[in-house]
Amino acid sequence: MGTYVISGAASGIGAATAALLREQGHTVITVDLRDADVVADLSTAQGREDAVAGVRARTGAVHGVVPCAGIAGLTGVDPELVVSVNFFGALALVQGLRAELEAAGGSSAVLLSSNSVTCQPGWNAEVAAACLRGDEEGARRAAASSDAVAVYPATKAALAYWTRQESVKEEWAGAGIRLNAVAPGMIDTAMTEGLRKDPKLGVFADAYPSALGRPGRPEEVAATISFLLSEASSLIVGTVLFVDGGTDAILHPLKP
Ligand code: NAD
């Protein structure tokens, strides 16, 4: 049995993943703004330090990290906060616990991208580029002149690219740490409840096609994350796995 760290575990996909891993007999250390083992704000440098220190105080070896904490790109949401929580808050946890992941031997991190990267047009490429340079101030500046709707998929694209680029390096795959990402579609959580209530964007909530004709459940994403954390996925490195009921496949068919 292993020890897993999950941020954003007070709600939605993070909560479902924590519940599934506990059912499987693992130890789970949760990080969130509330209702968590480690209460920390991942949007700030101090909160990120507190989060990593709080985990280290509980364990020396971590078998998996799943940074689920994130905020949606909705009307009225601060686009700079989207950058800081979704990209830099996620990486702070994965990078901050790299030594503990290596210490566990044969460990894994699963990052939360999104199918908005391929399915939502017009995202802010400047934000994504600054994220990938590790330039939080630059990414926040680029985001400030945009809006949260165009910034959200940019942060998720940056997470996907980061996962692919970093996963094959000596410090990750070479140290026995597999990095992968999931790209969920529309999943019924507090985040998408917020989308449905959004005065401008609410009408688009059910606009994306699904081959299953329904939104996903957080437990369905948790099951995929659990697979990517487990030995059953031992050959999978640097993958971004769509978990979206076929939305991306419908919108991007192969052309003969
Ligand atoms: P959710 O809103 O249900 O849960 C998000 C959690 O993150 C909450 O518990 C919240 O308190 C926590 N959080 C927010 N800001 C934080 C901060 N500064 N510090 C610490 N914790 C913070 O969301 P969800 O739908 O479960 O989404 C989980 C992840 O999956 C997010 O990264 C989201 O972008 C991604 N995702 C969700 C969907 C979807 O349709 N729900 C689709 C694609 C990707």
At 64, is the secondary structure helix, strand, or coil?
strand
Q: Catalytic: 152?
A: yes
Q: What is the pLDDT of residue 205?
A: 87
Quick: pLDDT tens for 22-61. 999 999 999 999 999 999 999 999 999 999 999 999 999 9
CA dist 112 and 119 (Å) reads 16
Q: How far, in Å, from the CA of 256 to the mean position of ligand 1?
A: 38
Quick: pLDDT tens for 150-162. 999 999 999 999 9
* Torsion angle of the four alpha carbons 9, 238, 24, 36, in this order, in degrees rounded to the nearest 10: -20
**Closest among 245, 122, 251 to 184, alpha carbons compared:** 245
- Of ligand 1's listed atoms, the one at least distance from the Cα of 67 is 32
Counts for the chain of helices (H) and strands (E), in that order: 12, 7
Where b means 16+ CB within 10 Å and e means fewer, 171-180 reads: ebeeeebbbb
Binding pocket residue ranges, ligand 1, CB within 6 Å: 7-8, 10-14, 32-33, 41-43, 68-71, 85, 89, 112, 114, 184, 186-187, 189-192
pLDDT at 190 over 90: yes
Ramachandran category for residue 25: left, alpha or beta (phi over 0 → left; psi -120 to 50 → alpha): left
* Average predicted confidence (pLDDT) for the chain: 97
End-to-end CA distance of the chain: 47
CA dist 224 and 110 (Å) reads 10
Instruction: Name which residue sits closest to atom 20 of ligand 1, judged by CA.
Output: 32
- Of ligand 1's listed atoms, the one at least distance from the Cα of 185 is 42
Quick: pLDDT tens for 95-132. 999 999 999 999 999 999 999 999 999 999 999 999 99
H or E segment to which residue 248 belongs: helix 247-251
pLDDT (mean) for 163-174: 98
Predicted complex: ipTM over 0.95:
yes
Two tokens at 227?
A: 């697979």
From the candidates 4, 152, 161, 208, give the one annotated as an active-site residue.
152
Query: How many Cα atoms are found within 13 Å in the side-chain-facing hemisphere of 11?
Result: 14
Two tokens at 40?
A: 């920390």
Quick: pLDDT tens for 195-208. 999 998 898 888 88
- Of ligand 1's listed atoms, the one at least distance from the Cα of 10 is 9
Quick: pLDDT tens for 72-103. 999 999 999 999 999 999 999 999 999 999 99
pLDDT at 241 over 90: yes
Tell me which of 3.30.470.10, 2.60.40.10, 3.40.50.720, 3.40.50.300 is the CATH number of domain 3-246: 3.40.50.720
**Confidence class of residue 254 from pLDDT cuts 50, 70 and 90?**
confident
- The answer to whether the CB of 14 falls within 8 A of the CB of 68 is yes
pLDDT at 249 over 90: yes
